[in-house]
Amino acid sequence: MPYDYIKSPADIYRKSFALVGEALAGHEIPRPLLPIAKRLVHTCGDPSLVEVLDWSPDFLDAGLKGLATGLFVDVEMVSAGITARFLPTGVKPVCQLNHPDVAGLAQALGTTRSAAAVNLWGAALDGALVVIGNAPTALFHLLEGVEAGNLARPAAMVAMPVGFVGAAESKEAVAASDIPYIAVHGTRGGSALAASVVNALALMARNESQE
Amino acid sequence: MPYDYIKSPADIYRKSFALVGEALAGHEIPRPLLPIAKRLVHTCGDPSLVEVLDWSPDFLDAGLKGLATGLFVDVEMVSAGITARFLPTGVKPVCQLNHPDVAGLAQALGTTRSAAAVNLWGAALDGALVVIGNAPTALFHLLEGVEAGNLARPAAMVAMPVGFVGAAESKEAVAASDIPYIAVHGTRGGSALAASVVNALALMARNESQE
């Protein structure tokens, strides 16, 4: 039997963001950050996510500047979630997790491959946007490296590692750092959420909002 | 300053699944499905997800059989979330969303690209596993095609489209169909969750559980 459902992509998109907007009506989200909050909820289907959403006052400006400079992500699934055609010209997500040197480097450093891959971001990390959607160890390693002066300083961080081992603590460490950030606190997070923040920022940079 | 966190990948993995197991202790999940439930929660960091997890009694057998036959996914992000080395020899996720014929076909059918891409799965869909992590329209289109005899019949479905327009309804339609399924009801879902079910099934097929 045929089902009764909306088939027009434009109608789906419009109705979806309208319903997300309604779902967020009771939440106090600063207007400039609303497109990001909406896209996060659009991605996971869970309006309660905004209750643990947190950002530094300087995140939006710093994040937009960072995105125009460069984009570093912890896992390929974040890259897969980023809509390439939204990005500023010449900007492509860089993921070094599968670089041939990473396994050996991780072993030498006594840490995860995700953390070791951060070391391969190099000088281009300076002033760029960092997006962590999976590994708390990558986030801790980045903070340690920046604080110790061993790694270049990113403009801003999207901090959305997920899980029960270190994720919550790594996001608290980000919030206590002096790098501009947006984070989903607690155990929730993930690549799709992290990527959705990049998509929202990229649309804002083009003055195309999903609102 | 250095932070205090677990750096050993093996320790992180072990502790993570132990904590997920504890978080699920109060939930009634049939023992054979526990590895799937655990991996879903491991992926999203949200134990409440299992409250909307639903499956048909024949899902596990049918899903394992389907996975050994072939694997069809709605979006590239599901493919990105599937750990290729876990999969049975010769099985690779097939996504037709970016096939050059899809845009024209979608326009001709008056539907989304995600739904049109399902038409390109062809005869290999017969007895395979279908994994929907994004588009309710793909799920509706698949059900309609199978019921009308225009599409081959998959062995089982992982039904985890996300969002506020049609997602909940599409998963109810799956649950009312006679195709074996696992689903996350309501608005929640997503590519990472859908992919995690495939990873859990693939490990079960190899007799390697994450438990």
> Does A211 map to a domain?
no
Q: Is the pLDDT at B209 greater than 70, yes or no?
A: no
User: Is A90 strand, coil or helix?
Assistant: coil
Phi, psi of B183, deg, nearest 5: -145, 155
* Residues found in chain A: 211
What is the arithmetic mean of pLDDT over A12-34? 94
Find chain A residues with C-beta within 8 A of B76's C-beta: 80
> Does B189 map to a domain?
yes
Residues 6+ apart with CB under 8 A from B200: B35, B36, B38, B39, B40, B210
Is the CB of residue B101 less than 8 Å from the CB of residue B119?
no
In the numeric block, which tokens belong to residue A55? 């950002």
Q: Read off the pTM.
A: 0.95
Q: For chain A, what is the mean pLDDT? A: 96
pLDDT tens per residue across span A85-127: 999 999 999 999 999 999 999 999 999 999 999 999 999 999 9
> Does B210 map to a domain?
no
In the numeric block, which tokens belong to residue A158? 């999207």
**Counts of helices then strands in chain B (DSSP H, E):** 9, 5
In the numeric block, which tokens belong to residue B39? 């991996």
pLDDT value at residue B30? 92
> Does B211 map to a domain?
no
Query: Is residue A149 within 8 angstroms of chain B, CB to CB?
Result: no
pLDDT tens per residue across span B57-101: 999 999 999 999 999 999 999 999 999 999 999 999 999 999 999
- In chain A, beta strands by DSSP E: 53-55, 71-73, 93-94, 129-132, 156-159, 181-184
Q: In which band, very low, low, confident or very high, does the pLDDT at A21 lie, cut at 50, 70 and 90?
A: very high
In the numeric block, which tokens belong to residue A85? 């055609």
In chain A, % of residues over pLDDT 90:
96
Q: In which band, very low, low, confident or very high, does the pLDDT at B2 lie, cut at 50, 70 and 90?
A: confident
How far apart are the C-alpha atoms of A54 and A34, rounded to whole Å?
12
Query: Is residue B134 within 8 angstroms of chain A, CB to CB?
Result: no
> Does B1 map to a domain?
no
Distances (CA, A) of B17 to A208, B37, B39, B42: 41, 11, 8, 7
CB pairs under 8 A between A and B: 140
In this prediction the ipTM stands at 0.93
> Does B61 map to a domain?
yes
DSSP B24: T
> Does B2 map to a domain?
no
pLDDT value at residue A208? 77
Query: Is residue A196 within 8 angstroms of chain B, CB to CB?
Result: no
Catalytic residue at B27?
Answer: no
Distance from CA of A82 to the nearest CA of B (A): 10
Q: In which band, very low, low, confident or very high, does the pLDDT at B1 lie, cut at 50, 70 and 90?
A: low
pLDDT tens per residue across span B116-139: 999 999 999 999 999 999 999 999
How far apart are the C-alpha atoms of A125 and B77, rounded to whole Å?
25
User: Is A71 strand, coil or helix?
Assistant: strand
Residue A94 is part of which domain span?
9-205
**Identity of the residue numbered A112:** T
pLDDT tens per residue across span B183-196: 999 999 999 999 99
pLDDT value at residue A166? 97
Hey, which residues 68-127 in chain A have their CB within 8 Å of chain B? 76-77, 79-81, 106, 110-113, 115
Q: For chain B, what is the mean pLDDT? A: 96
How far apart are the C-alpha atoms of B109 and B132, rounded to whole Å?
20
CA nearest neighbour of B113 among B99, B95, B100, B97: B97
Find chain A residues with C-beta within 8 A of B2's C-beta: 144
> Does A210 map to a domain?
no
What total of structural domains would you count in chain A?
1
CATH number where B75 lies = 3.40.50.10230
B2–A164: do the CB atoms touch at under 8 Å? no
What is the arithmetic mean of pLDDT over B165-181? 98
How far apart are the C-alpha atoms of A11 and A19, rounded to whole Å?
12
pLDDT tens per residue across span A136-168: 999 999 999 999 999 999 999 999 999 999 999
Query: Is residue B173 within 8 angstroms of chain A, CB to CB?
Result: yes
Query: Is residue A154 within 8 angstroms of chain B, CB to CB?
Result: no
Query: Facing residues of B20 across strands?
Result: none
Hey, which residues 34-63 in chain B have their CB within 8 Å of chain A? 42-46
Q: Give the active site residue among A27, A42, A141, A185.
A: A42
A113–B9: do the CB atoms touch at under 8 Å? yes
Find chain B residues with C-beta within 8 A of A106's C-beta: 9
